[in-house]
Amino acid sequence: MTRRMFRQSAVTGAAVLGLALAILAGGCSDGFAFGSTEKKPLSDDERMEWWREARFGLFVHWGLYSVPAGTYKGKRIDGIGEWIMQRAQVPVSEYEKFAAAFNPIGFDADEWVRLVKQAGMKYIVITSKHHDGFCLWDSQVTDYDIMDATPFKRDILAELAQACKKHKIKLCFYHSIMDWHHPDAQAPFYPNYNDTSRSNPNFGRYVETYMKPQLAELLDKYGPLGVLWFDGEWIRDWTEPQGKALYAWLRELQPDLIINNRVGKGRKGMEGLNKSDDDYAGDFGTPEQQIPATGLPGVDWETCMTMNDTWGFKAYDDNWKSSEDLIRKLVDIASKGGNFLLNVGPTPEGLIPQPSIQRLKAMGHWMAVNSESIYGTTASPIGKPDWGRCTAKGEKLYLHVFDWPADGKLDVTVPRADIAKAYLLADKKKNALPVVCNGEVLTVSLPEEAPDAVASVIVLVQNKK
């Protein structure tokens, strides 16, 4: 491991203290002040409002692991691409060499964010630092970053922050608590960086003089952020009290910040939702590669999912989910009251793979017509109908029909129904569809042809109570 990658602990310790004090005093640049005493603190509902409204965001896993792209020393490595350092048992000194080959000259932040907006997404969560420890911004705490260790020498996060501000997209960062590169964290565990039975006696120093100064940098230089999305919390050296303390500290720096439940130890594996035996840290659950079977009243959650089988770029992973499947997953998640964080893994050249672009554009085409039935909606009040899904907002129910009835009759069970009107969301004129009520069962007469082959939306407008 090269010495130059880490700055002196005394300097970084002083830096985090000084930066935190400056932040709390409102001393950030460009008129941005965390923890301003002039504003009334937001309630949790007010703080979560934009996130609940958004429902759809982009996950970006990008870093040095895109260079090997799933292959090390001529051998294809099993597993997800961003874990190649662990899976291929790559020594730190060898892995660092990928930095010299990371020169993503095709990266265009504005193009990425325009694609996000075109897809109907409202926020981006990008890996500021994954488990491999490499940083996508110009960190003052280490030289193991995009500016000092690569030939690219452009601050990726700064460019994304500018583009997000321009296009009114919320910028959020994924950040790994675990760090396979740092000597005070999991680097000494080589060849099994992910050895959860081992402990590093210097981990507390890593937290105070490295991880926290970097988090303060991210909030100060690129904030205000929408979400800090933590991961790697399963290591032995991280505890729930540490997670709660970190959560509280970050909320002092930026009171309106949203933080996922992986800041602590509460989540139940890939199911992502919190265990019920304690009041765990974090604002929302994080199901991974799965969707809860039913809605979860009173629980904020977000399914994160890949389009193929990997998060980070893997050149030979062509097992792509179809656009139809992804659109219906978005609908299914919204119908259960959740958000959908859909991943792309850019190439080492800085390009989003073409199959990902094609799917995002297809989803955007559907959202251009039907986004009203996704944004700001709540879980279905009528369960999971056989013909599709349902979302709700105000006096409206949005019926997402996957299987268009051959006889043109859609039966909907709506307890205590009092329907003022039904119409196709795709119909700009909102022409009324005939509705017959037989007790709690409504029968909506539909045109012969579905407006959309994937998911057509019928709006039921209920009379105000």
Strand-by-strand arrangement of the 435-438 sheet: 409-413, 441-445, 435-438
379 belongs to a structural domain: no
Same domain, 366 and 399: no
pLDDT at 6: 59
pLDDT at 32: 38
End-to-end CA distance of the chain: 67
Amino acid at 409: K
Domain boundary among 329, 344, 373: 373
Same domain, 304 and 436: no
Answer whether 431's CB lies under 8 Å from 379's CB: no
313 belongs to a structural domain: yes
For 419, the domain range is 388-462
Same domain, 319 and 367: yes
Same domain, 223 and 267: yes
- If DSSP codes are grouped into helix, strand and coil, which group holds residue 304? strand
pLDDT at 36: 42
Same domain, 416 and 274: no
pLDDT at 161: 98
381 belongs to a structural domain: no
Nearest CA to 18 out of 158, 209, 161 is that of 209
Answer whether 137's CB lies under 8 Å from 157's CB: yes
255 belongs to a structural domain: yes
Domain boundary among 306, 341, 373: 373
Largest interatomic CA distance in the chain: 76
Same domain, 354 and 458: no
Same domain, 254 and 311: yes
Helices within 25-129 (DSSP H only): 44-54, 84-87, 92-95, 109-118
Helices within 25-155 (DSSP H only): 44-54, 84-87, 92-95, 109-118
CB atoms closer than 10 angstroms to residue 353: 20
pLDDT at 352: 98
Domain boundary among 313, 344, 373: 373
69 belongs to a structural domain: yes
380 belongs to a structural domain: no
382 belongs to a structural domain: no
Same domain, 313 and 411: no
Number of domains the chain is built from: 2
Per-residue pLDDT of the chain (465 residues; tens, 9 = 90+): 443 455 544 344 444 445 554 444 443 333 334 444 456 789 999 999 999 999 999 999 999 999 999 999 999 999 999 999 999 999 999 999 999 999 999 999 999 999 999 999 999 999 999 999 999 999 999 999 999 999 999 999 999 999 999 999 999 999 999 999 999 999 999 999 999 999 999 999 999 999 999 999 999 999 899 999 999 999 999 999 999 999 999 999 999 999 999 999 988 888 888 777 678 899 999 999 999 998 887 899 999 999 999 999 999 999 999 999 999 999 999 999 999 999 999 999 999 999 999 999 999 999 999 999 999 999 999 999 999 999 999 999 999 999 999 999 999 999 877 899 999 999 999 999 999 998 889 999 999 999 999 999 999 999 887
Same domain, 343 and 451: no
187 belongs to a structural domain: yes
Identify the CATH number of the domain in which residue 447 sits: 2.60.40.1180
Same domain, 288 and 392: no
How long a stretch of residues is the chain? 465
Same domain, 308 and 408: no
Identify the CATH number of the domain in which residue 234 sits: 3.20.20.80
